[in-house]
Structure 1
Amino acid sequence: MEGDFYRPAPARHRVKDGLKRLVKNRRRLVVIVLGFILLMYLLFDNKGILARIGLEMKQSEMEQKVEEAEAETKQLQQRLKGLQGDKQTIEKTAREKHGMAREGETVYRIKPQE
């Protein structure tokens, strides 16, 4: 029946009342402030969570680059082995990439149309 005669307090008064109660209970206020400071320290410090996530992302990128470089190295080593003993492969590479020809041969190059 009491609720019938009184209006509920506006939201801004409820917030003010909550802050007043929080200030009155100093222990709770100290714990909340220290918790907030600790949370900010853990998140934004040089050794914090966000810095760690960034470093882990960089590490995964670097590992991927290393894997790509190792694959390229392996491919080049296989190509080198193929070139070391196969005279036909050496001749083909010399003709195609370096434009070389045997004595007496004439090489004609066709330019692609634009």
Structure 2
Amino acid sequence: MGLFSSIQNAPRAKQLAWIAIIFGLLLLFLFLFGGKYGFVNMYRLSDERTALERTLDSLAAEQESIKRDIKKLETDRSEIERIAREKYGMAKKGEKVYKFSAPADTVRK
């Protein structure tokens, strides 16, 4: 009887092994691709977070630069004068403002 039962259980053991393998592969597939907590989605979100952190750092540096410029404009009259001269072409009484245009391309192609 022992020999007969082991022969009958052999195909059942193979079936259980295949079921376990398929179940394991299914779990692996779900782990990698399943839903918002899948490995692939988490990896994509990690990359997105890194990019957003870089953008945040860049914007924080730009904000600090703008704050320094504001402080400089509030306290330094020579900075205001420099901007008025360079950006708006202003001059003090008696000064002349010269404006130079870019040279025209005289060679015809």
TM-score (norm 2): 0.76
- Residue 90 (structure 1) aligned with residue 96 (structure 2): no
Tell me which residue corresponds to 1:59: 49
- Which digits, 9 at most, give the CA deviation of each residue in 1:31-67, with x for residues without a partner? 0100111111111112200000000100010011011
Write out aligned runs for 1:1-114 (5 A): 25-46=14-35, 47-113=37-103
| Cα distance change on mapping 1:72 and 1:22 into 2, 3 Å | farther
Name stretches of at least 5 consecutive residues in structure 2 with no aligned partner: 1-9
Instruction: Give 1:97 deviation, angstroms.
Output: 1.6
Identity %: 29
TM-score (norm 1): 0.73
Instruction: Give 1:106 deviation, angstroms.
Output: 2.7
Name stretches of at least 5 consecutive residues in structure 1 with no aligned partner: 1-20
**Where do 4+ consecutive residues of structure 1 move more than 3 Å?**
21-24
Instruction: Give 1:99 deviation, angstroms.
Output: 2.0
Over aligned residue pairs, what C-alpha RMSD do you find? 2.2
Distance 1:90 1:70 in 2: 25
